[in-house]
Structure 1
């Protein structure tokens, strides 16, 4: 994240009653969830579905921004650095949660898959397909 590694990022799922403050701290990240108004260097706001879809690579961040499904305020360079870092990390939140859940991993993965199917919200990274 270069010069933006110590910025404060507000992730604001507009359809939920809380915001997430992300502080990368140069590799020692801190995450705070709060119901109070929180400020940061950059604010990225959109529906939970849009934010999770972007994290998992199911939705294009530029398309979400230009369709106004995603709003970026403050330091747009910092927001872009965060987006690039998330893209490079190829995060899969359902796999991360399953990895941390020990013997509950398999049932948890099934719950995530069912929830994703029922809600249409991207809870995992789409499977890569190889074009021949």
Structure 2
């Protein structure tokens, strides 16, 4: 059975990988402190296994690459959980430690690399919608409206949480 995933089935890994890598490179350009904060852990290969998605993502910070891969890919560490948990953590809606201790997110492998990435992303206070719009050029308004529609229909947190953590 295919997981319920909020993105269209026609998005293939090849084009998706180009988009994901462009997004990661743009974020690194706009937020260079993220890579500096990773220090010697920037070379780690982190598998982000979104359990309700058809494929996980492999984050390679030093190579500025984010790609859709098979679940059995070689990596240094794995972060596993539902998309909503990852987005809540990224956007400041939930504390990463609380998500780990509650079991909403699981980590294995090089936990120091996972914590370095989590801390670097927390410090950057990223907003996924802003990051997508920044890469969208003239399509930015359409991307923002699409993200707002997707957030309303799916219940996913696609923008930075402005209040305290829930």
Question: Do both proteins adopt the same fold according to a TM-score greater than 0.5, normalized to the shorter chain?
Answer: yes
1:20-35 mapped onto 2 (5 Å cutoff): 20-25=57-62, 28-35=63-70
1:88-107 mapped onto 2 (5 Å cutoff): 88-107=123-142
Matched, 1:5 2:42: yes
- Specify which structure has the higher proportion of strand: 1
Task: Give the secondary-structure state (helix, strand or coil) at the position aligned to 2:43.
Answer: coil
Matches of 2:93 and 2:107 in 1, distance apart?
A: 19
Matches of 2:74 and 2:80 in 1, distance apart?
A: 12
Deviations 1:29-76 (A, max 9, x none): 111211352131110010011111111111211111111110000111
- CA shift at 1:117, angstroms? 2.1
Matched, 1:111 2:146: yes
Aligned length: 127
Contact 2:133 2:140 in 1 (8 A): yes
- CA shift at 1:23, angstroms? 0.9
Contact 1:7 1:41 in 2 (8 A): yes
TM-score, normalization: structure 1? 0.87
Task: Give the secondary-structure state (helix, strand or coil) at the position aligned to 1:73.
Answer: strand
1:1-132 mapped onto 2 (5 Å cutoff): 1-25=38-62, 28-127=63-162
Q: Which structure 1 residue ranges, 5 or more long, are not aligned?
A: none
Off by >6 Å, runs of 4+ in structure 1: none
TM-score, normalization: structure 2? 0.71
Matches of 1:110 and 1:127 in 2, distance apart?
A: 19
Q: Which structure 2 residue ranges, 5 or more long, are not aligned?
A: 1-37
- CA shift at 1:85, angstroms? 0.8
Matches of 1:60 and 1:52 in 2, distance apart?
A: 11
- CA shift at 1:3, angstroms? 2.1
- CA shift at 1:128, angstroms? 5.2
